Amino acid sequence: MKYNHVLALYPYFKDTTATMGVFPPTGLEYIATNMKDLVGKVTLLDLRYENEYQNVEKLSGFIKNEIDLLCISITWNSQFNSICKLIRKLPDEVTTVLGGYKATEEVEYLFEKCPNVDLIVRGEGEETIREVVSGLPYGDIPGLSYRKNGTMIHNKPRPLPDISAVAFPDRSLRRQDYHWIQNGVQITNLTFDTVLTSRGCPYNCKFCTCSLNPLGQKRKYAERPLDSVIEELNTISADVVMFSDDNFSTNPKRSKKLCDLILANRIKKRFCVQTRIEIAKNPDLLEKAEKAGFKLFLIGIESPHDKILKQLDKGITQQQVRDAFKTLNNYNFYIHGYFIYGNIGEKEEEMVYIAKFAKELKLETISFQKLRIEKFSPLKEVVENTAGYFYNRIGGAVYSDRYNRKALKQIRNRIRSCFYDFHQIRLILQKVYKSRLLTLPELAQIFARLPNILFRMLKRRVEKKMIR
């Protein structure tokens, strides 16, 4: 056995400005689980919860004294520079492997900025990490980048794995349960978890790279056997489970069977899913989902304007969205809508109309983000070829001569204030209770903790102003 003790590290620190730690680091848990039979021991550390190891000296001491392989997951743009700084401070005598979406995008940058990094796993890494810990020569491992005599070597990409052969996360590796934490306060005693039943997406929306792996390869839609999904659900103790598939209703027949199996196995959870408006074409699926405990639908609408929907290759029209919600609103689901503003050619009042349109659809809540450019996004070329539009970095927002950062921030605030008025808050509370997304005692618990949350929020704002 080549490695006696492996540390799987999720390096994201607590973020007191937003929701922290609702869901586990599923990607890292897949990696840890799929190598555990080949090493002596695996320790999984999520720094969002590990107060002791947020001290870099203590973390470094633990690694130096206990660990002979360090695996770090870098998934998001958020905190990227801080994570690079952290990695540089960790012991360079311990073999260090990076992986995750952001690590795959930034291979050469990470090797340059973090001289103690030895290996970077590119793309989906379950099979790659197994070969690393098995002691296979680095040059023979597809999907691996590594240093050799001061030179960076990038092996050929690894073919996408058969997900039916990939072990699902072993939750016994966790050191804590996952809760909804806002501004450093635990909102409820509910626990949260995620399940991935498929990978990839058959759609080709221009703004989205979910159907691409971090190398820009199209991730073909692939399904796990439902027996395996049910087996995993039976290992989960959490109250709320998020199906993190890109689209729950890609295969409606399969989704209906999943609902039937959940009911047959008497699995009682509150389920959340990401889906598209096409789910409204399957009322029998909606009925089964409601009975099986599906409470929250997260639906990407993106825009109320046909010209923008066409520009984004969303494949839907405003009228189709309206028709879909006439059906969806007949069921007892809490529905959250996603929107994008700052699109090419979009005027301020068109952006602000998001709030009115969302109310017309009777959405409970919405979130909206600026148009962003990812490394392999088809929109990258469009923005570069459109006069007056630009972006500063990959993974960053699109701006224009007409709408700079400050202008877009003001527009964002207008959208928020137009949508989240007192009437809307009342509707949210009504639907939360009616859909049984939360019980009355759970709602009371949230309200009891609200003053503490607000106090911490105000304190943070004052501190930020003082720093400025």
Half-sphere exposure of 329 (CA within 13 A, CB side): 13
pLDDT in tens, 42-82: 999 999 999 889 899 999 999 999 999 999 999 988 899 99
Write down the H helix ranges in 106-187.
107-113, 126-133
Whether 17 has a pLDDT exceeding 50, the answer reads no
Q: Among 175-184, 204-213, 453-462, name the most confident range.
A: 175-184
Specify which residues 8 forms β-bridges with: 44, 71
335 and 349 in contact (C-beta within 8 Å)? no
Q: Which of 60, 64, 69 is nearest to 36 (CA)?
A: 69
325 and 296 in contact (C-beta within 8 Å)? no
Distance CA 70, CA 96 (A): 5
Specify which residues 97 forms β-bridges with: 71, 119
pLDDT at residue number 382: 87
Q: Among 117-126, 176-185, 447-456, name the most confident range.
A: 117-126
For helices 126-133 and 26-35, what crossing angle results, to 10°?
Answer: 40
Q: Which of 163, 152, 9 is nearest to 75 (CA)?
A: 9
In the chain, % of residues over pLDDT 90: 77
The pLDDT of 13-24, averaged and rounded, is: 65
Whether 206 has a pLDDT exceeding 80, the answer reads no
Whether 454 has a pLDDT exceeding 90, the answer reads no
Range name among 204-208, 275-279, 290-294 with the lowest pLDDT average:
204-208
Whether 19 has a pLDDT exceeding 70, the answer reads no
Whether 254 has a pLDDT exceeding 70, the answer reads yes
Helix (H, G, I), strand (E, B) or coil at 460: helix
The pLDDT of 79-100, averaged and rounded, is: 95
Band (pLDDT 50/70/90 cuts) for residue 207 is low
In total, the chain counts a number of residues equal to 468
Q: Which of 213, 403, 203, 216 is nearest to 309 (CA)?
A: 203
**Residue 384 vs residues 297, 310, 370, 412: alpha-carbon distances, Å:** 34, 19, 17, 24
Mean pLDDT of the chain: 91
Neighbour-count burial of 54, counting CB atoms closer than 10 A to its CB (0-12 exposed, 13-18 middle, 19+ buried):
middle
pLDDT at residue number 314: 92
pLDDT at residue number 182: 80
Distance CA 442, CA 428 (A): 15
278 and 297 in contact (C-beta within 8 Å)? no
Residue 221: alpha-carbon gap to chain centroid: 18
Range name among 126-135, 182-191, 451-460 with the lowest pLDDT average:
451-460
Whether 16 has a pLDDT exceeding 50, the answer reads no
Distance CA 265, CA 313 (A): 39
The pLDDT of 435-450, averaged and rounded, is: 91
Band (pLDDT 50/70/90 cuts) for residue 450 is confident
State the maximum Cα–Cα separation within the chain, in Å, rounded to a whole number.
65
User: What residue type is assigned to position 370 of the chain?
Assistant: K
Band (pLDDT 50/70/90 cuts) for residue 452 is confident
Question: What DSSP designation does 277 have?
Answer: G
Distance CA 70, CA 126 (A): 15
Band (pLDDT 50/70/90 cuts) for residue 209 is low
pLDDT at residue number 464: 62
Whether 18 has a pLDDT exceeding 50, the answer reads no
